[in-house]
């Protein structure tokens, strides 16, 4: 008998059409939770873990050492009020968003060359450079992104955050500065810290856990 879960299901590295029951697979996301069904670019995607128990991590995330700077280990907290979250919370936000909750946005903060290698289903790409004035992001473009992606309203030269979305941001992992850069700029613009969630583990942890990815771009 198929069991269904409201929040969770199981995922491979391919796009599946239907949720998977916990008693049908050997590698669950957590006890009793095999998969999570989300929407990505208008299509249903089932997130589960890779079922090959001999599978090894994606080589792009196998390195243990990268030059610092710029690839320095990030702190566990990016600032007062900004919540650092794990896979459980990311899946819950992705599921809620896919079920029609328009108050949430899951943001892949990486540059397109990284996103092309795979991203978390339901995420949109908003590269860190596009919100960074030091990288040439102009005020008009930033205002358009703030309104279109984060639901921040512009009132003359002021930003109205009263209806801004809960922004869940990630990048490559604990050694990556791309989502921290986006978050720090959002805070500078006045974004409420309690509306920002940071998935510190990012794609490194997502890949290590064998969770489903989809092509970016």
Report pLDDT digits (tens) over 87-112: 999 999 999 999 999 999 999 999 99
Averaged over 16-38, what is the pLDDT? Answer: 84
CATH number for the domain spanning 176: value is: 3.40.250.10
C-alpha torsion sign, points 161, 149, 114, 37: positive
Residue 20 has a pLDDT of 79
Cα–Cα dist 101/131, whole Å: 24
Q: Is residue 81 part of a domain?
A: yes
Half-sphere exposure in the Cβ direction for 89 (13 Å, CA)? 19
Does 27 fall in a domain?
no
pLDDT of residue 6: 32
Tell me if residue 85 falls in helix, strand or coil. strand
Under DSSP, the state recorded for 26 is: S
CA 102/CA 100 separation, integer angstroms? 6
Identify the three-state secondary structure at position 89: helix
* 37-50: average pLDDT: 95
Asked whether residue 46 is domain-assigned, the answer is no
54: CB partners within 8 A, 6+ apart? none
Smallest CA-to-CA distance from 37 within 7, 2, 1 is with 7
Query: Is 184 contained in some domain?
Result: yes
Name the residue range of residue 160's domain. Answer: 66-208
Number of domains in the chain: 1
pLDDT band at 15 (very low <50, low <70, confident <90, very high): very low
Alpha carbon distances (Å) from 4 to 1, 26, 33, 36, 70: 10, 17, 9, 10, 44
Please check whether residue 113 lies inside any domain of the structure. Answer: yes
Residue 30 lies in a domain: no
| Consecutive H or E run containing 92 | helix 87-98
């Amino acid at each position: 008998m198929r069991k269904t879960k409201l929040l969770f299901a199981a995922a491979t590295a391919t796009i599946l059409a239907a949720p998977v029951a916990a008693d049908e697979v050997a590698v669950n996301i957590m006890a009793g939770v095999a998969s999570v069904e989300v929407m990505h670019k208008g299509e249903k995607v089932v997130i589960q873990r890779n079922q090959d128990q001999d599978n090894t991590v994606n080589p792009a995330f196998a390195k243990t050492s990268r030059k610092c700077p710029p690839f320095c280990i990030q702190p566990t907290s990016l600032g007062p009020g900004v919540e650092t979250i794990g896979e459980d919370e990311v899946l819950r936000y992705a599921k809620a968003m896919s079920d029609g909750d328009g108050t949430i946005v899951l943001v892949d903060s990486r540059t397109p060359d990284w996103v092309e290698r795979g991203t978390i289903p339901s995420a949109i790409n908003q590269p860190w450079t596009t919100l960074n004035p030091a990288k040439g992001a102009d005020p008009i473009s930033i205002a358009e992104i703030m309104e279109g992606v984060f639901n921040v309203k512009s009132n003359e030269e002021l930003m109205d955050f009263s209806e801004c979305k809960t922004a869940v941001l990630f990048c490559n992992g604990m050694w990556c500065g791309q989502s921290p850069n986006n978050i720090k700029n959002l805070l500078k613009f006045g974004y409420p810290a309690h509306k920002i969630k940071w998935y510190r583990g990012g794609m490194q942890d997502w890949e290590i856990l064998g969770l489903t990815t989809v092509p970016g771009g």
